[in-house]
Each structure stands twice: as structure tokens, then as C-alpha cells.
Structure 1
Amino acid sequence: MDRISEIIEASWQGETLEALKAFVRLPAKNRVFDPDWEKNGWLVLAVEDAARWGRQRFPKGRFEILYRPGLTPVLVFDLPAEGGHTGRPAFFYGHFDKQPETEGWAEGLGPWEPVVRNGRLYGRGTSDDGYSYYAALTAVAALDRAGIARPRVVGLYETNEESGSAGLAEYLQDAAPAMGEPAFLGILDLGVRDYERVWLTQSLRGVVSFELKVDVLDTPVHSGVAGGLVPSSFDVMRQLLDRLSDPATGRVLVPECWPEYPKDHEAAVERLAELLGDSVLGEYDYAGGTQPRATDPKEAILRTSWEPNLSFLAASGLPKPEEASALIRPSTALVLSFRIPPRVDTARAFEAIRRTLTTDVPSGARVTISDVRYEDGFDAPKLDPWLRKSLNEASRIVFGRETMTLFEGASIGTLKDFAETFPTSPFLNTGVLGARENAHAPNESLSLDYVTKLTEVIARVVASIPQGGR
């Protein structure tokens, strides 16, 4: 195994880096941000380029682009075992679709022009998560070049992750029968808290979102004439929102949104809190004297991963200040987004939220709930003992430290699809996404040092898959 470090480092300084640079140059935006994606062809080109790159390195491998009517394509690959390895296959997943450009890139940087600066590759899609395909295949190629036996390696890379992965379950059903029973599911679109070890994501929250509209009039009226008589839609909205969450603490008041305390993860939470300390409280640019909702690191971790939270994403019915006039507005609408912890049934939670908002409405106003979306959170099953041991050993060798567990507050609804498709396969949930990566924002970047080390860890774990199946 000594040679793989040298091989991987050379790849990330050469052919792998160049491939990822070429990917950055493609404005392969998600279909939501590029409605003419079929005509423009960037998503298709992204998977075609990736398939071509893979075929050049694995002539015996199968790289197939799958299409379904009305859906963006996916790339499926299958690399035969080498060196007589008889173990279960390794499986990898990621995505090639990207967030839009956004404004505010630093001088000399941009979304579609790859730039290496201070050990980072800048450009849209580097860390979220174009790197993952090239890292996974670089890890496998390093084993082959070093003459190290490895099992079969399979994967599926989609192009619709940034808008909810519509069709992924169907594509998985198409591809899964030929993939067998993977030794692990390498989901490489997740986060880190530092760059000094491998991070494994244990859980992610689910989501309940919808538009809430309050109507009190069919047409606006003069506030000087009707003010004091006609109820304000804003006042009604405020009263309804106070039923959902406590404005003083931010805590959600709907019991159905809360799980039982995750006692089985308590040791991991405490270890994470001890490692991160106050950094978990101070990584945001608070305005003025704004204070966080928690000052204890453990409470902060739980509040952002195992507690529900309500955010207000958008509003309508409110004119801009410079356009305001002396009117009582007919309506106020807000887009609400609840982050719902794992182990909570989000359908049941939404029904409780709906009842809370539509029962005994203040002033008898008309309440409308629309554009409803909900999906459950995810709590990964325990790792197989061999996988836990292998990950810790690889992390110690490469980073000098064992792996750490983290708990995410965001949502990736597709994980349940993998769990249903491969019910006996453990999850290796990892990635490169930290605060400095700036995913979805200007100056998205990838730490080349960290991804090089993570690639070596992946190679070592693949090679450690037990022979002969379980």
C-alpha cells in the first residue's frame, strides 16, 4: 500500500486535477436554474466527459449513460474486480449538476473558470460535488497501478441533486440489480468540521416546507379610513407564527416535530462538542450584537441537528419601502421551512402543523397552504465492524487521527432511496464540504490537500473489503 500515496498525489497534481478543471468550465446548472437544459446540453456533456475519462482509465470497465423521459441523465459505472478479489462491491454516489453562478466572486475568480490559489481549486461544482467522481475513480486507479487486489467497484452519478433528485429512485431500480449487494455505500456529498481527519455524517434532518397565505380582504383599502376596523393580515400571520415557534427562544412548539432524545448518539455528540468547543458558536458573521441561541457547544450541536427549527424563506404581499402607500394590504404570504430531525414522520408533522394553522384562525381570516413538500430525515445505521476498523486505520495512517462523527442540520432526501434499494449495505457518508468551501455561494472551492488525503483513505477502505463476501 505504500505506493498509493505517491500515485494519488501525482494524480491530483496532474490528470485528476485537469479533469476537474475541465468540469468546472461546464455551466452544467441544475435543470431548475437552466430550464433549457436539454437544448443547452451542458448536463449531458458533463456525464459524457466523465464517462470518457473513466473509459480511458478503465478499459475493462462499463460506463453507461441512462436516460428516462423528462429526467436528466445519470452515469452508471461498473469496474470488474482485480487481483482475484472476491469481496462485495464498493458503491459510490455523487452528482454533476451545479448551483447557479451567484454574484460576488473575488477578483480573478469566477464560477466557470478554474483557478488554483493557495492550495485550493476555485470554481462552481468543485466541492459540491464534482470532485467525488474523480476522487473515487482516482482511488481505484491507484490500487490498480500499485498492483493491489480490490473488489468490483460500481457507482451512480446523477444530474438533478440540487433540486431534489427527481427520478433517482427509478434510476436506482434500473441499475441496482446488476450491482449486487455493496459492501458499503460511499455517499461523498457531505461535510467536514476541520481538515485534520475523516468525517462521517451520522444524521441529517428532514424538511417540511410550504407557502402560508393569510387573506383579510379581496381588495386593498385606505388605512386612514379602515385602520382599526379591518384586521391586518400581518397581525393574523404573527399570531399564527407564534403558534408554531416561540419567538423568544426559536424553539418549535408543535410536539409532532420533535423526536425522542437520541441517547444512542450522546457519546458522539459530547465528543464532537469537546473537539469543536466554542468554534461551533462563532463561525457565522453575526450582525451588531446578535447572540446565538445557544452558548454551550453540545446544546448548539443538538439544536442544529436533533431539534426542529423554523425558518422564513420568502415573503409576498409586502411592497418595497419606497413603494409603500397608506393601504391596508389584502394579504400576507410567507414561505416556511421546517428542518425536522431524524426519527420524525414528516407527513404526520405536516398534518399537525396544518391543523395548528387552520383551526380557530384569528379574526376568521382565510388561510391557504400551498406548495407543500416534506421528506424524512436520515439516521445512518451502524457501520459494520470491519468498516469502522478500516476507516479508523486509514484515517490514522493518512491524517494521524481517527475518524469523527458529525450530525448535519441540512437535508439529503435521497439517502432513504439508497437504504431501500440496498437494505443490507452500510453507509460511508463523507465529503469535503466545510465553511471554507462556500458551496452554493461565491468563491466555491476545494482543498486539494484534503481531497488528496481523502482519496487515499477511500483507496485503503476499498482494498480492505473482506474477501468472499460477508
Structure 2
Amino acid sequence: MDSAKIGQFLSDKWDNDIVPQLVDYIRIPNKSPMFDANWVANGYMEQAVTLMESWAKAQTIPGLQVEVVRLEGRTPLLFLEIPATGPETGDDTVLLYGHLDKQPEMTGWDDDLGPWIPVLRGDKLYGRGGADDGYAIFGSLAAVLALQEQGLPHARCVILIEACEESGSYDLPAYVDHLAERIGQPSLVVCLDSGCANYDQLWCTTSLRGLTGGNFT
């Protein structure tokens, strides 16, 4: 593995291809169903799904399958499958997870910023959903592309992008059950939806301790 070449490849991919997609994604007010009771009629969730589906299908990954799975009465889910590229990986599967729904607008934005107004300042992109969690599908496929660009083998990959995480992921268990046979038995699950302390290293969250709420007086 040539780390420098991978770094350059990913930098170019993000700057020239992925950031423009995230800019368009930020403009879509696809709030999670808990914050938009009329999400079906408004159509914003469908716009976000279409944006990600179209981009994914345009990627030059041999054998990549992209599908929008729809269970009646539930938010849609993007299901992507990439075959293994090396016999040494055997029947192993890596599951990558993300979500495309967003938190509501909230307050506290600077005068020249807003939840649905993408603003790029230096290497930082402002707007709702870019980091939580719109980047997940782009980051997942970019990582696979980087490996394949160097001819490095990888295991079979399954990518799940749900659309109600900010509402408690109440649709996700139904989709996991529905797709269980197609998902298989992953040996590694990568959840691309956490924080980091800086942008110079890869940070891995291995567990979360829960959340406590209260009012202080």
C-alpha cells in the first residue's frame, strides 16, 4: 500500500467529486420523519436518496450493485453490495453503515450561514447534514475506489444507508431482518457516524456510554 498515493487519490476525489455532491445534498431540507411529519409529501427525502443513488451508480467499481429498498410505510434504505476482489478474503463480509436524514434547523447559525445554505470556507463545508451523516456513502465508496485503484484486495462490502436515524432508527431493524440473507454474516461493522478530535488522524469510536438529560438551575 502506497499511503501517499492513496492520500492524493482521496484528496482529489473529495475535492473534485464528493464535495460538490455534499454541497447539493446540504441544500435539501430532508429532515428526519420525527421533525417532518409530511416527509413523504414534501419529497425531500426522495431527493436525497436520488442524489446518492445516482452518484453511487456512476462510480467505476466492478460488480457494484445499488438498490433503493422500500418497505411499505417506512422510510427508504439504500443497499449497496460490492463483491470481494481477492480470494484471500474468503467469504468474509464488511458492513458499512450511515444515514441520510437530517436534524432540524435549530438556532445559533451565523448571519451568513444556515442549515440549508452550503458555505465552503477553506477546507470546511458548513450546512446541515454534511458531517452527520451525508458523507457516509461517499466515504465508503471512495475507500473502496482507493483500494481498487492500487490493485489492493478487499472483502465483500455491504453498505446500508438508512433514512430515519435522527428519529431513533425505528425502521432499521425491519430492514435488517428483511435483508438478513443478503447481508450475510459480517465480521466487521463500520459505522460512519461519530465524532473526532482532529482531522489529521483516523479516529475510531468503539463504544458509546449513553446519554443523560437534565435541567440545571
* TM-score of the superposed pair, with normalisation by structure 1: 0.43
Q: In the alignment, what sits opposite 2:214?
A: 311
Q: Distance in 2 between matches of 1:135 and 1:50?
A: 12
- Could you tell me whether the CA contact under 8 Å between 1:94 and 1:157 is conserved in 2? yes
Query: Could you tell me how far 1:104 is from its partner in structure 2?
Result: 3.0
Q: In the alignment, what sits opposite 1:86?
A: 89
Query: Could you tell me how far 1:73 is from its partner in structure 2?
Result: 0.8
Q: In the alignment, what sits opposite 1:21?
A: 23
Query: Could you tell me how far 1:117 is from its partner in structure 2?
Result: 0.3
Q: Which amino acid in structure 1 is aligned with residue 73 of structure 2?
A: G
Which one has the largest radius of gyration?
Answer: 1
Q: How big is each residue's C-alpha offset from its partner over 1:290-332, in whole Å with a ceiling of 9 and x where there is no partner?
A: xxxxxxxxxxxxxxxxxxx55149xxxxxxxxxxxxxxxxxxx
- Could you tell me whether the CA contact under 8 Å between 1:83 and 1:147 is conserved in 2? no
- Could you tell me whether the CA contact under 8 Å between 1:55 and 1:63 is conserved in 2? yes
Is 2:197 the counterpart of 1:193? yes
Q: Distance in 2 between matches of 1:148 and 1:42?
A: 38
Is 2:110 the counterpart of 1:106? yes
C-alpha change, 1:93 and 1:107, in structure 2 (3 Å) is: same
- Could you tell me whether the CA contact under 8 Å between 1:64 and 1:75 is conserved in 2? yes
Q: In the alignment, what sits opposite 1:8?
A: 10
Query: Could you tell me how far 1:118 is from its partner in structure 2?
Result: 2.8
Q: Distance in 2 between matches of 1:85 and 1:19?
A: 34
Q: In the alignment, what sits opposite 2:171?
A: 167
Q: In the alignment, what sits opposite 1:70?
A: 73
Query: Could you tell me how far 1:48 is from its partner in structure 2?
Result: 2.0
Query: Could you tell me how far 1:84 is from its partner in structure 2?
Result: 4.5
Q: Distance in 1 between matches of 2:51 and 2:200?
A: 32
Query: Could you tell me how far 1:180 is from its partner in structure 2?
Result: 1.8
Q: How big is each residue's C-alpha offset from its partner over 1:231-281, in whole Å with a ceiling of 9 and x where there is no partner?
A: xxxxxxxxxxxxxxxxxxxxxxxxxxxxxxxxxxxxxxxxxxxxxxxxxxx
Q: Distance in 1 between matches of 2:78 and 2:203?
A: 26
The sequence identity of aligned pairs, in percent, is 39
Is 2:51 the counterpart of 1:49? yes
Q: In the alignment, what sits opposite 1:176?
A: 180
Q: Distance in 2 between matches of 1:132 and 1:173?
A: 22
C-alpha change, 1:310 and 1:50, in structure 2 (3 Å) is: closer
Q: In the alignment, what sits opposite 1:459?
A: none
C-alpha change, 1:20 and 1:85, in structure 2 (3 Å) is: farther
Q: In the alignment, what sits opposite 1:122?
A: 126
Q: Distance in 2 between matches of 1:17 and 1:154?
A: 23
- Could you tell me whether the CA contact under 8 Å between 1:71 and 1:166 is conserved in 2? no
Structure richer in strand, relative to its length: 1
Within 5 Å, give how 1:27-426 maps onto structure 2: 27-57=29-59, 58=61, 60-84=63-87, 86-87=89-90, 88-206=92-210, 309=212, 311-312=214-215
Q: Which amino acid in structure 2 is aligned with residue 21 of structure 1?
A: V
Q: Distance in 1 between matches of 2:200 and 2:12?
A: 21
**What's the secondary structure of 1:191's corresponding residue?**
coil
Q: How big is each residue's C-alpha offset from its partner over 1:56-113, in whole Å with a ceiling of 9 and x where there is no partner?
A: 1036211111112221111111011225453412211010000112233223222112
C-alpha change, 1:77 and 1:160, in structure 2 (3 Å) is: same
- Could you tell me whether the CA contact under 8 Å between 1:76 and 1:154 is conserved in 2? yes
Q: Distance in 2 between matches of 1:169 and 1:205?
A: 21
Say which is worse superposed, 137-146 or 89-98, in terms of deviation: 137-146
Q: How big is each residue's C-alpha offset from its partner over 1:154-179, in whole Å with a ceiling of 9 and x where there is no partner?
A: 11110100010112111011122112
Structure 2: unaligned runs, 5 residues or longer: none
* TM-score of the superposed pair, with normalisation by structure 2: 0.89
Q: How big is each residue's C-alpha offset from its partner over 1:158-213, in whole Å with a ceiling of 9 and x where there is no partner?
A: 01000101121110111221122223100111122334433222332346xxxxxx
Q: Distance in 2 between matches of 1:114 and 1:29?
A: 16
